């Protein structure tokens, strides 16, 4: 369930990650190919160097006579004379019962392994090239070739050298390659970020326009957009215009229905009051209940239509201040003090009529039960599941309060816990329904003043 509710990645993140992943993959592939090509090229160059010595020894072996150039110091490479220097040559006669082996002084008492015995296939001209373990246990590169000099015999000529030089060159190249490609990867990542930000700028501007409409700072999406976003902006404008038209029609129909129902109910109630008897009293009672129910459902229908309006916002502080002054006058005879402490910048995401109806019912209810004081405060609330910012409006009174087991009943439609107080019992239920339509809720708690606290949670703009 947690994975299903996880917020999907943004378009910018998807583009960035996919571009970076492709760039890294291509750079890695290019690095592997370049490293492999450089290793092959380096080995070929090293083999050519060894091949020079091999050809010199082959020429010496193929030359009749005892005056050979394969004695130490005759190949122009001093390392052939240094014991276990890593540079070796070896001549092995293959057609005698007891192989005759001549080798460089660097081999000391060791022998070079045969590549044919190691399974290395012969190349062009019968020569072989490959890696093997040297006399000192380190890897060496060997170039060998069999030659037949007729009556003089068949010989295997080998030249070998340590691979330290080759590996050092390859390591330096790979290090330079890593540094170069890492720098290139960072440059590509930066370019991708700039490209994505620039490419998504029209979409971000469209989002800002929609946000301004939602906050009530605009009515339609303005500006000229690209070929891809222009149809979307147009459809959104048509949707908002259609929403306003539907809302106006709904308001008109609700108003007509209210007039159509209230007039017959008023007639029935007047006729019942003009007549004496149990039947008349029952008709008057039921007519009053019907009038209250019609009023409640019509108000709820109006609120449901208004709550769907896009971009409607209400300044909280002026609306609460006006309510506090109004109810201070209404309850002036009881000297109830109404104190409102609301920041000026707060705004309710909804129509002013809905806000005044919710707060009016709660402040009126607090004034009915308060002894001397009603406080109206605000607190920051946790964001809603949709991500909307929420606030808690707190209405405290210093009256007798309400037991916890009766608070749920108090918010039930038509439920009055004290018949001595005026009202229809619909106030708190209307607040609960209106708050729910806007994504909020109403909770009743103990007040720090000793009475009841009404906590009204609403979305902010």
Question: If you write DSSP's letter for every residue of 82-140 in order, what string do you get?
Answer: STT-SEEEEEEE-SSSS--EEE-GGGTT--PPPTTTTTPPP-GGG-EEEEEE-TTSSEE
68 pLDDT band (50/70/90 cuts)?
Answer: very low
Q: pLDDT (tens digit, 9 = 90+) per residue, 110-138?
A: 888 988 888 888 887 778 888 898 888 88
CA distance 405 to 380: 27
At 203 the pLDDT is 78
Where b means 16+ CB within 10 Å and e means fewer, 11-41 reads eeeebbeebeeebeeebeeebeeeeeeebee
At 2 the pLDDT is 45
By the 10 Å C-beta count (0-12 exposed, 13-18 middle, 19+ buried), 321 is classed as middle
Residue 313 has pLDDT above 90, yes or no: no
Domain 312-459 sits in CATH at 3.30.565.10
Q: Average pLDDT in the 336-357 region?
A: 87
At 96 the pLDDT is 78
At 239 the pLDDT is 77
- pTM for the structure as a whole: 0.48
Q: Average pLDDT in the 141-163 region?
A: 86
Q: Average pLDDT in the 235-252 region?
A: 73
Mean pLDDT of the chain: 80
Task: Report the share of the chain in percent with pLDDT over 90.
Answer: 15
Q: Average pLDDT in the 263-291 region?
A: 75
Greater confidence (21 vs 226) lies with 21
At 72 the pLDDT is 42
What are the φ/ψ torsions at residue 457 (nearest 5 degrees)? -100, 125
- Class (C level, CATH) for 14-169: alpha beta
At 221 the pLDDT is 76
Residue 417 has pLDDT above 50, yes or no: no
Q: Computed from CA positions of residues 10, 12, 18, 20, in that sequence, does the dihedral angle turn out positive or negative?
A: negative
């Amino acid at each position: 369930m947690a994975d299903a509710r996880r917020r999907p990645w943004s378009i910018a993140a998807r583009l960035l990650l996919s571009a970076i992943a492709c760039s890294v993959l291509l750079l890695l592939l290019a690095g592997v190919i370049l490293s492999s090509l450089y290793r092959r090229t380096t080995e070929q160059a090293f083999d050519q160097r060894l091949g020079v010595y091999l050809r010199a020894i082959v020429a010496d072996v193929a030359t009749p006579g005892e005056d050979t150039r394969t004695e130490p110091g005759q190949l122009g490479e001093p390392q052939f004379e240094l014991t276990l220097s890593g540079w070796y040559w070896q001549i092995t006669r293959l057609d005698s019962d007891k192989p005759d082996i001549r080798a460089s002084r660097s081999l000391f008492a060791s022998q070079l392994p045969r590549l044919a015995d190691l399974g290395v296939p012969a190349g062009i001209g019968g020569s072989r090239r490959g890696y093997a373990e040297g006399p000192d246990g380190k890897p060496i590169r060997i170039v060998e070739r069999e030659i037949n000099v007729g009556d003089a015999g068949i010989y295997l000529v080998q030249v070998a050298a340590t691979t330290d030089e080759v590996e050092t060159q390859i390591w330096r190249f790979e290090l330079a390659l890593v540094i170069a490609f890492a720098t290139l990867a960072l440059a590509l990542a930066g370019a991708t970020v700039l490209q994505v930000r620039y490419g998504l700028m029209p979409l971000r501007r469209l989002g800002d326009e929609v946000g301004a409409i939602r906050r009530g700072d605009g009515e339609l999406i303005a500006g000229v957009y690209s070929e891809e976003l222009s149809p979307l902006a147009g459809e959104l404008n048509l949707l908002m215009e259609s929403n306003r038209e539907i809302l106006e029609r709904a308001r008109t129909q609700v108003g007509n229905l209210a007039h159509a129902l209230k007039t017959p109910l008023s007639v029935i109630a007047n006729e019942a009051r003009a007549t004496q008897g149990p039947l008349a009293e029952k008709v008057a009672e039921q007519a009053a209940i019907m009038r209250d129910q019609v009023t409640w459902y019509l108000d709820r229908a109006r609120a449901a239509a208004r709550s769907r309006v896009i971009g409607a916002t209400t300044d909280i502080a002026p609306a609460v201040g006006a309510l506090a002054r109004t109810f201070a006058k209404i309850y002036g005879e009881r000297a109830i003090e109404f104190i409102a402490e609301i920041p000026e910048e707060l705004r309710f995401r909804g129509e002013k009529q809905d806000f005044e109806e919710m707060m009016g019912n709660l402040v009126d209810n607090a004034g009915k039960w308060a002894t001397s004081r009603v406080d109206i405060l605000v607190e920051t609330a946790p964001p809603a599941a949709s991500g909307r910012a929420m606030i808690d409006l707190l209405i405290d009174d210093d009256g007798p309060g309400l037991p916890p087991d009766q608070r749920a009943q108090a918010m039930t439609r038509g439920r009055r816990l004290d018949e001595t107080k005026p009202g229809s019992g619909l106030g708190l239920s209307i607040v609960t329904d209106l708050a729910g339509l806007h994504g909020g809720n109403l909770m009743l708690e103990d007040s720090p003043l000793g009475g009841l606290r009404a906590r009204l949670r609403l979305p902010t703009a």
